[in-house]
Amino acid sequence: MICSEHARIRATGPDDAAALHAFYAIGRPYASLLDKRREPFLPTVDELREMLGRKEAADLAFYTVEDPTGIVRGFCSLRGMMPETNFGEVHVLFHKSETYASPIGEAVFQFLRQRGFQRFHLHKLLAHALEGESAWRESLLRQGFISEGVQREVLYCGGHWHSLESFALFATTQDGAELNT
């Protein structure tokens, strides 16, 4: 468990399935909940519980984000890390959009940057946002991610097409020095 003044970040387990399922139940897509083919995935609570109980779930680096009182505020992950590619994909989901710009959101990004760049020595973090995820998109830009372009109307969900924007953050500080040397 990682504890800071504003957030506790811990490994997600089977008991977190219902809280995670709440994001799927909202009825609008989140880029962080798309499957590997970038398609909507609609699991049940039991399917999530089973998935989170497997050993492979620990390999996904999937975390539950709590406030200091222990209330679940969201989830984050760093997926797709392979030594030969030197990048990982960042996913962050908060129940309230204002959390992205809060100290909790800042703590989560600090945790993911440290994990990706310092612990796993990645060169790049990737993220994706659907057009309706403005708080997530703004948070990525605030954290130094740059847009790498928009894939227009690539996801059909809820009766209409959605565009998906890709973002990247490289393992450099503001002055250009490497973080992981």
The predicted model scores a pTM of 0.83
- What's the pLDDT at 101? 95
- What's the pLDDT at 180? 45
Q: Which residues contact 159 (CB under 8 A, 6 or more apart)?
A: none
pLDDT, averaged per 10 consecutive residues of the chain (181 residues), comes to 87 90 76 64 82 68 91 90 80 93 96 92 92 92 94 72 89 53 41
Cite the beta strand spans of the chain per DSSP E: 2-3, 8-11, 62-66, 72-79, 87-94, 124-130, 146-157, 160-170
Place of tokens 């995670």: 20
Given a contact cutoff of 8 angstroms between Cβ atoms, the answer to whether 10 and 69 are in contact is no
Burial status of residue 76 (CB atoms within 10 A of its CB: 0-12, 13-18, 19 or more): buried
Given a contact cutoff of 8 angstroms between Cβ atoms, the answer to whether 94 and 65 are in contact is yes
- What's the pLDDT at 175? 40
